[in-house]
Amino acid sequence: MNETVGVAKSPAVAAFSRHRRVPIGWQAVLVVVTCLATGLAVNHFFNLGFFVGYTLLENHYQYALVGLLAPFVFIIFPAHAQAPADKVPWYDGVLFVAMMSIVGFFVVNSQKILDLGWEFGAPQEVIYLCFVLWLLLLEVTRRAGGTALFVIVAVVSLYPIYADKVWGPLSGLASPIGVAAAYHIMSNESMLGIPMRALANLVIGFVIFGVALTHTGGGKFFINLAFALLGHVRGGPAKVAIFASGLMGSMSGSVISNVVTTGVMTIPAMKRIGFSASYAGGVEACASTGGVLMPPVMGATAFIMAVFLDIPYITIAIAAIIPSLLYFFGLFVQIDAYAARKGLPGMPPEDLPRIRDIMREGWHFIAVFVLLTIMLVVLQREVLAPFYATALLIAVNQIKAGDRWTWKSTKGFVIATGNLLAEITAILAGVRLIVGALSVTGMAGTFVNDLVFLAGGNVLILLLMGALTSFILGIGMTVTAAYIFLAIVLAPALIKGGLDPLAVHMFIFYWSMVSYITPPVALGAYAAAAIAGANPMRTGLEAMRLGSIIYFIPFFFVLNTAFILRAPVADIVLLTVSAALGIVMIAGALQGYLIGVGNLMTHATAGWVVRALILIGGIFLATPSGGPITLTDFEMMLIALSLSGPGIVLARWLNFRAARAAGTA
């Protein structure tokens, strides 16, 4: 669900792990706390009433999760780069105890908070505790989410104090610091807002499932299956990366862990048949990023989106099918074109595993995938589905000879789960301080009108502003943090412009993801570069070119909801086919090789003209009409043919002339 699962498994990517090597004593505490948090979640989801009929209040349950999980950020993440990496300093122990104790106070007094309205009229000593917890939340946000996220959260969370002194349209209603602190900690609009409700009521199960999948060998199974199916075809290892990362990412929901899990096998195989190190890293980065966009499990952000929109998660998963398939299709076509132009073969059959052997060893992963899909799609039990899937996965794993967990591996699974839950909890609680600040000052709604005014009411300009803002925030924040902020500030403005709410939220989600493959940050590409032994920036640029279709797809479905399956079947089929053909042309132009035409760079100068004509034509063919685009689909197709047609004819003539010259020679 997050970007740190399993990162420490490979020395090549050790730089991407910020976790401390937790001492054994603290590991035992983390195991106990993780089991308690998981037990609370199971009790809540299955309505067990602690077997005595006692039911927790919603804020009681959320405070308990925050109090159990967030303090462990002080133990897991060092305070700074020079802090001890293998022991817990005394001050981190003090911060751990302080945060757990203060949140424990709010757990005990959850009923009073609701009955007596403490968020607006708390006793003075409670306000002091709120202020201390506010500071502690800022620190766990810094450690878990990074300095950029900390600065944004700190500045905006303090906004209620100076809101009346800010210039013009950014001015809001000011509040004393005590009122702001109480509102942040005890209202349902700040720390305990929608993201924490999503974590408490939906995300936890899928986090546990993703970690269990990794620790039971799911990554190895999907990679071997992909090699057996695609390893022998042209550019096979690169296509294996797409297939394996798509499957693994769709169930684990993490970009970096996806890179680490699958990349250690696919990247060396790509290099072995002739792919450059940077290109191989770019392929893996793009494939792993796409995996998080692929149903059935799309990461924590998608679940939070479901809570924001108040719709079942399966609605989002279904809407994501065509966009994610188009992304992987574009990636597949680009790799095929590159392999064809470079003459890169597949792997020898004798070096590949056999499908029969793979399925015999890993059939239970397919069974778990089927169970998860049935429970999500048919039974619509999205809250319980990951728990049943995890139980089946672990049960079969323990039955199979050779794969059983020992006490040591079981402890590793629990600790990995606790690490991830602690990090997610800290980030979500911290980001909600932003929303709380905007809410208490009355600026949440004002921003919407200001954005619409700045865009002059033009939806296309709003979309471009949204894409740029999402990308910039995606650089400094996690995807989830960027999405939450923009879902509050930007999404209402786009919806007010007449766009579909689900399409708008998915648009923000997609554009928050592109920073993983776009320099100067490109964390997914840099993790892949570490494995490939390639230049990080060059790998990022390769990933940006390979995954370029991801920059277009969000505009496709926000302009025409047929791409998210909200249109008549005929429109969905027509637009999807048109988009697929356009993507083939875009991919061919970017790689210099078009299927059915051949090499587009036979002539050094004319080749660039050919590629430009085909690229622009492909964009027109793939882009749907609707929204601010007043042209019809038929007119867009005519423009595409008038541009790409001459380019294709010229390319074929140049190839014919080159072949004849070679034959004559």
Are 466 and 483 a contacting pair, CB within 8 Å? no
Q: Is the pLDDT of residue 473 over 70?
A: no
Q: What is residue 456's predicted lDDT score, i.e. its pLDDT?
A: 66
**DSSP conformation letters of 305-333:** HHHHHTS-HHHHHHHTHHHHHHHHHHHHH
Q: What is residue 202's predicted lDDT score, i.e. its pLDDT?
A: 79
Q: Is the pLDDT of residue 98 over 90?
A: yes
Other residues' Cβ atoms within 10 Å of the Cβ of residue 570 = 9
Q: Is the pLDDT of residue 10 over 70?
A: no
Q: What is residue 581's predicted lDDT score, i.e. its pLDDT?
A: 94
Q: What is residue 341's predicted lDDT score, i.e. its pLDDT?
A: 85
Q: Is the pLDDT of residue 617 over 90?
A: yes
> Tokens 């685009």, residue?
629
For residue 182, which amino acid is it?
A
Average pLDDT over residues 424-433: 85
User: Is-above-0.85 flag for pTM?
Assistant: no
What's the angle, vertex CA 109, arms to CA 105 and CA 113, rounded to 5? Answer: 125
Q: Is the pLDDT of residue 360 over 80?
A: yes
Q: Is the pLDDT of residue 13 over 60?
A: no
Q: What is residue 2's predicted lDDT score, i.e. its pLDDT?
A: 41
The pair of three-digit structure tokens given for residue 643, joined into one six-digit string: 């541009």
Return the percentage of the chain with pLDDT > 90, whole number: 22
Higher pLDDT: 240 or 258? It is 240
Lowest-confidence pick of 405-414, 441-450, 524-533, 643-652: 441-450
* Residues 478-503 pLDDT 10s: 677 778 777 877 788 888 878 899 99
Lowest-confidence pick of 178-187, 330-339, 507-516: 507-516
Q: What is residue 424's predicted lDDT score, i.e. its pLDDT?
A: 85
Q: What is residue 139's predicted lDDT score, i.e. its pLDDT?
A: 95
Quote the CA–CA distance of 602 and 663 in Å, as a whole number: 15
**DSSP conformation letters of 579-647:** HHHHHHHHHHHHHTEETTTEES-SSTTHHHHHHHHHHHHHHHHHSPPBTTB-S-HHHHHHHHHHHHHHH
3-state secondary structure (DSSP) of residue 361: helix
Task: State in Å, rounded, how far the first CA of the chain is from the last one.
Answer: 59
295 phi and psi, to 5 degrees?
-65, 160
Average pLDDT over residues 192-208: 82
Q: What is residue 450's predicted lDDT score, i.e. its pLDDT?
A: 67
Q: What is residue 28's predicted lDDT score, i.e. its pLDDT?
A: 93
* Residues 518-548 pLDDT 10s: 776 677 888 888 888 888 888 888 888 888 8
The residue among 70, 181, 74, 60 whose CA lies nearest residue 113 is 60
Quote the CA–CA distance of 634 and 371 in Å, as a whole number: 43
Average pLDDT over residues 553-572: 89
Q: What is residue 101's predicted lDDT score, i.e. its pLDDT?
A: 95
Q: Is the pLDDT of residue 119 over 50?
A: yes
Q: What is residue 249's predicted lDDT score, i.e. its pLDDT?
A: 66
Higher pLDDT: 479 or 357? It is 357
Q: Is the pLDDT of residue 594 over 80?
A: yes
Q: What is residue 7's predicted lDDT score, i.e. its pLDDT?
A: 35
The pair of three-digit structure tokens given for residue 136, joined into one six-digit string: 């502690």
Average pLDDT over residues 555-582: 91
Q: What is residue 474's predicted lDDT score, i.e. its pLDDT?
A: 63
* Residues 401-420 pLDDT 10s: 667 888 888 998 999 899 88
Quote the CA–CA distance of 662 and 665 in Å, as a whole number: 5
Average pLDDT over residues 317-339: 90
Average pLDDT over residues 567-593: 91
Mean pLDDT taken over the chain: 84
Lowest-confidence pick of 55-69, 127-141, 206-220, 252-266: 252-266
